[in-house]
Amino acid sequence: MKLATIKDGSRDGQLAVVARDLKTAQLADAIAPTMQALLDDWDFIAPQLYDLYDQLNAGKANRAFDFDSKKCMAPLPRAYQWADGSAYVNHVELVRKARNAEMPESFWHDPLMYQGGSDDFLGPNDDILLASQEWGIDFESEVAVITGDVAMGSSPAQAAEQIRLLMLVNDVSLRNLIPAELAKGFGFFQSKPASRFSPVAVTVDELAGAWQGGKVNLPLRSTWNGKLVGQPDCGVDMVFNFPQLIAHLVKTRNARAGTIVGSGTVSNKDPKKGYSCIAEIRSLEMIEHGAASTRFMQFGDTIKIEMLDGNGKSIFGAIEQTVKEADPA
């Protein structure tokens, strides 16, 4: 099924079921008020939502309304955990190569993962408000899963059973803040502003055969200022699948319901597949020409991130946003 969170002025919005074709939706308020409420009690609530989803797809829902992604918050507008992996190691190797840094061999078998802020996620069409374009504004197109409760020490197989929903992510990064921040040794902080998510989250059965081996085997399309710049296949060159990423997360602690785990920037070794973040094309330019010629995002730039099924239909709806200058606090 497909789910969204509709803006209503509250912090958590209202949970809605969205039709498979993304044309209509119905509030799920009689079943569960919010996405977190669903995740807290999935086994009891999800079957009721599946029933509503079937009615909606059959045109038999009694309070259906036209679905509009502009009225969506992030599916989980605030979460108790956001942990982002770097499963496409090719991307990591490329970026390091561009700055003449060797990538440790261990990166091929020990996942990179950072803990991100999760208190203020933004919706699919909300502006990307930032105070300075000197920070090196970049998009990062990713896939993420939302989990149920995962116990400390769970294996990848145990973790796989707790994958509840899939989403797309724009993990906005401030490239010019990263080197100094990582040099301090404590990881990303100011270089990672609020992340943004697709209009809808979907259960894995929505992907049918495209969900295989704990990966999404479909291209992720990134369109920057109206130009398609990347369409790498998310199932290709993903060195760690989602169950492995979750198992890495829970080595020393539990992960509780509503944990979001990201894939990291999707990247294929085949350069014809384009790029899912500007840092990658700039790295390629550095390696080939000794200097990067593609600029980072400027105020007014747009970014669209979408995934289509085998019939060319949007699965998650599109993240479609404009970068704008933030007003002072």
User: What's the full length of the chain, in residues?
Assistant: 329
Q: Tokens 């990291």 identify what position?
A: 264
- Closest CB 10 distance from a second copy, rounded Å: 9
What is the spatial distance between Cα 73 and Cα 297, in angstroms, rounded to a whole number? 23
Between strands 173-174 and 259-262, the pairing is unpaired
Residue (of 184, 167, 156, 151) closest to 255 by Cα position: 151
**What tokens does 262 get?**
């990201």
Site string for a second copy, 162-191 (x = CB under 8 A): ------------x--x----xxxxxxxxxx
Check binding of 116 to a second copy (CB under 8 A): yes
Where does this chain touch a second copy (CB under 8 A) — which range of 57-65, 127-135, 199-207, 214-222? 127-135
List strand residue ranges (DSSP E) for 191-307, in order.
196-197, 201-202, 211-212, 215-216, 221-224, 227-230, 259-262, 302-306
Closest approach, Cβ 143 to a second copy, in A, equals 19
Least distance CB 250 / a second copy (angstroms): 8
Residue 152 CB, shortest distance to a second copy, in Å, is 6
> In degrees to the nearest 10, what's the CA dihedral of 144, 147, 150, 154?
-40
**Stretch in the footprint of a second copy (CB under 8 A) among 192-200, 205-213, 280-288, 317-325:** 192-200
Q: Which of residues 247-286 bind a second copy (CB under 8 A)?
A: 248-259
Least CB distance to a second copy at residue 329 (A)? 4
| From 152, 208, 228, 287, residue interacting with a second copy (rule: CB under 8 A) | 152
Beta bridge partners of 305: 222, 319
Summarize as ranges the residues that interact with a second copy (CB under 8 A): 11, 40, 78-81, 83, 86, 104, 106-107, 110, 112-120, 129-131, 135, 151-155, 158, 174, 177, 182-194, 248-259, 326, 328-329
